[in-house]
Structure formats: C-alpha cells, structure tokens
Amino acid sequence: MSIRKRGRRYQAQVKAHQEVVASRTFDTLAAAKAWHDAEVLKYKDSSYSIQLGKAKATDVIAQWLPARKPQVAESTYATDKQVVSMLPDSLTGKQVRAITTADLQRLVNMWAATRKPSTVTRYADSVKAFFAWCVRRGFVAQNPVVKVDIPKRRKEPRPMRPLDENELTTLAEGVGGIYGDAIAILGFSGMRWGEARALRVGDVLLGDEFPRFHVVRSQPEGKAEKLPKSYRGRMVPIGPQIEQRVKGLMEGRGKDDYLLSRDGESQLWRSRFVRATGWAEAADGRTIHDLRHSAAVNWLRRGVPAHTVQAWLGHSDLAMTTRYTSFLGMDIDQAAFAKLGG
C-alpha cells in the first residue's frame, strides 16, 4: 500500500504502470487508506498510460474524429465536429488527462445559459463519446463526463388528437393499400408502431373466442426484436371494422410471415409510410401515435371499462388510461346530468 507518514499527516499515492497517477495527503491514516482504496479501483484493469495522457486534447481529438466517422450516422458525426470546434482553447490546450469533471461542468453550464436542454444534452453526448474513446485507448482512466450534471430534456407535451371511428375509416380508405390497412389496424387495435411492424400472421387468433391479436413482441426500427413496452404479452381485440382486412392480409401466408407487409417478409418503415401517405396533410397534422389514442378513446366511448382498455393497451398504470376520459368529458357530464332527472 502506497501510504507514507509525512510529519503528522499521511500521504497516499496511487500508481499505474509504475508511475504515480494520483496523490493526496490526509490528517488520519484511516482517511488516507479509504481514499487510496477507492482511487485504486479507478485504475484497476485499465490500459491507462500516463504518457498517453500527457497529449494535448486538441491532438487527441484529431485522432478521434477519423476513428469516429465510420462508426456513426452522418448527422451524429456532423454534430461531433461542430461540438469539438466549439470547445474553448483553455480546454483543448490542456493535457487530456488533466481535464476534470469540474472543467466540463463549467462548459455544460456555459452552454445551458444560452441553449435548450435538448441541445446541451446532444453536445454533452458528443463530449462523452470522445472521452469514452479516450478511456478505451488509454488516454484517461475514467470518463470525466459521467459525473457532470447535464440538464434534462424537457419534452413539451403534445396534445392528443384522436380520430373517431368514421374519421379513421375514411382516412384508411382514402390512403388504401398496405398503408391503409396499417392505419386501420393501428387505429382500431391501439398497438404501438413497433408492435404492429413486428406482428406475425401466427399472432392472429381467429378461434372460437373473440378474434384477437396476441401482442408478444416489438421491434423499433433499426433494432432487434424485444418484449413490448410492458414487458409482457397481451391480447387485443380484432373489431369488426378491421376483421376482413386482417383476414385478407393473412391469405396465402405462413404463420411466421409479417402481417403488415406486402410480401410477408418486408416490414413497415415510418419514413416510407409518412412519405407515401402524405401523412402530415392526410392526417391533418396528427402523429402516428394518435392512432393509438384513437383506439383508446373510441373503446371508452363504446362503454368498455377503463381497466379493460388498460389491459388492451398494455398500460402498467390505470392513471395512464383514464387520461383519455378528458376527451369524453362532455359525454360523461351529459350522461350524469340526464340521471338527475330521474
């Protein structure tokens, strides 16, 4: 253990590759030991090299950018280049190992004073990615961005704009084709986009009980299949408004084929859907997720109990479901008022 007594105090040192990488003096042996043991963990099994860490940040950035370019999307790389060009000389002129969490906190605070939280988060992500690369390459022992307090993104709530059943049917028929089928199924089943694009023919149950979808998976675009958001499967009714569409999509396909697909093999892609349908205009500014809202509101309009709607939507909390009743407030009020007349 590298702890030495210096007069009445105790000096603790941590070494990596036979070189001192951290040193601090304490009043008590216990305090020195506690700091030493915690600090050692930072360098355990690390490829950190004190010589590499002496390189100036600007030189290390020049190595990082070419390595970063083939690994990320073009837009991400453009943001990375923009961010490193904005770093102050007082930071890029330092040895990369000497850049501290406090330095980066001041940088983030400066950005936060004039930019939106979402922008600051995006910038901080680039800096974090740079230091993560530095850790892997041995320039630094730990990523100093990890402990930086980054403003949380404040997502403005978007008002829900559900469609009633007639509007849904008109929209689906107006679009037609596979995308018309997608609109109808999303709007009458309440499935999420990722759930609908992962739906297989074998997930459609048309037995003795009511026709239903067995929603057991989701697949966000560009990612692997996973469980639905609720982490469990659920049954969703196939109403008469979409039953014939569903049967038509199943015809001639195997159980492992995708249901919402032209050929059973290809999947829905949001960008193609939006472009092909002219979605912004066709849906009058609504989001695709408003189709899910439409199913919830229309079920409640038909008198389906809120806890049943909760189960069909896969909500973990009933409060998430009852927010839809705000769209039915007038109907509920009128019904209650009618009861007052006996």
pLDDT tens, residue by residue, 182-223: 999 999 999 999 999 999 999 999 876 789 999 999 998 877
**pLDDT of 159 above 90:** no
Percent of the chain's residues with pLDDT above 70:
89
| Cβ atoms of residues 86 and 172 within 8 Å | no
**pLDDT of 135 above 80:** yes
Beta carbons within 8 Å of 311's beta carbon, 6+ residues apart? 234, 235
For the domain 54-137, what is the CATH superfamily, name and number?
Tyrosine recombinase, N-terminal domain (1.10.150.130)
CATH architecture of 165-339: Orthogonal Bundle (1.10)
| Cβ atoms of residues 288 and 270 within 8 Å | yes
* Residue 145 amino acid letter: V
| Cβ atoms of residues 167 and 222 within 8 Å | no
**pLDDT of 63 above 50:** yes
Question: Around 48, how many Cα atoms within 13 Å sit in the side-chain half-sphere?
Answer: 27
Which of 35-44, 89-98, 157-166, 196-205 has the least mean pLDDT? Answer: 35-44
Q: Which two tokens stand for residue 74?
A: 């073009």
What is the C-alpha to C-alpha distance for residues 30 and 110, in angstroms, rounded to an integer? 38
Supply the pTM of this predicted model.
0.57
pLDDT tens track for 234-282: 999 999 999 999 999 999 999 999 999 999 899 999 999 999 999 999 9
Domain ranges for the chain: 3-45, 54-137, 165-339
Q: Tell me, what's the pLDDT at 340?
A: 63
Alpha-carbon 133 to chain mean position: 22
Mean pLDDT to the nearest integer, 61-86: 89
